[in-house]
Structures are given as C-alpha cells and as structure tokens.
Amino acid sequence: MLYNVMQIQDILPHRYPFLLVDRITELEPSKMITGYKNVSISEPVFQGHFPDHPIYPGVMIIEGMAQAGGVLAFQSASKEEQEAAKDKVVYFMSIDKCKFRHPVVPGDQLIYKLTVIKNRGAVWHLDGKAFVDDKLVAEAELKAMIVDK
C-alpha cells in the first residue's frame, strides 16, 4: 500500500460520498498508478440505481478513474508544486473512447489502472482501465487539467 484513504484525502479535495478511491497500491510518477475502490451496498447511489437490482453507475467508475489520475498528477509534481497543490483542483477536459464492458455490483472491488499517454504542463492525457477480478469492466481515455481553485 502506498496511500490509504486518509492520505488520499490529503491529496484530493473529494470527500464522502464522492471520494471514490479507497487505496493506492502502485504509483510511478509521470507514468502510471493503480488503486482500488471497494463497492458496498451501503453507498447512497444504490438507493436509486437500482433499488431492486443494484448496479454501480458507469459514470462513477469513470470518476473513480479520474480521481486516481488526480493522485498521479499531484504526486508527479515537485515538492514545491505539491505544497501549492492545496490550492489546486483537477478538471475534466474530455472523456474519449469510453466503454462499459461488464456491470459492477455491491461486493466488487474495482481496480483502477491508469497510464500516462501524454503530459504537457498542467494538462494530463491518461489511458484508464477498471477491472473486477481481473476482468475489464470499463475503459476510457481521460484528459484533465490542474487549475487554481
């Protein structure tokens, strides 16, 4: 384990119920990150999606990938930039080639794996994949920018 949920909260501004990364298990600055989220029936989203057939929404999977990408971007910065990151946030610029391959249900552990396609200054272009039990459940190319709050 590299970062637990408390350490992730020191990096990202997201909080319950919208912090969608529980742990970071692997990180190579400016190259790749692996993290996960444990999907629980007690999450508020399952009250409406769907009460008698709970499916974790695809947009939440993509957001979780993006949050892992935000950790990668912030932790790839210099120490001085990391200190300044307290006043920064990551904004989506685009989501491309997004596909949902298999439903995610309560009890699943979503593994997020992102690799850097390109990084130019504050702009990050990432290839994201989400897995459950080594099965690809979602994928997308994400572009995001680090901006002032």
Helix (H) or strand (E) segment spanning residue 89: strand 88-100
- Yes or no: say if 115 and 64 are a contact pair by the CB < 8 Å rule: no
In angstroms, the CA 47 to CA 43 distance is 8
Helix (H) or strand (E) segment spanning residue 66: helix 58-75
- Yes or no: say if 110 and 29 are a contact pair by the CB < 8 Å rule: no
- Is 14 annotated as catalytic? no
Sheet architecture: strand order including 135-148: 23-28, 32-38, 109-120, 123-132, 135-148, 88-100
Spatial neighbors of 60 by CB under 8 A, at least 6 apart, are 20, 45
Q: Which is catalytic among the residues 49, 53, 102, 125?
A: 49
Q: Supply the residues annotated as catalytic.
A: 49
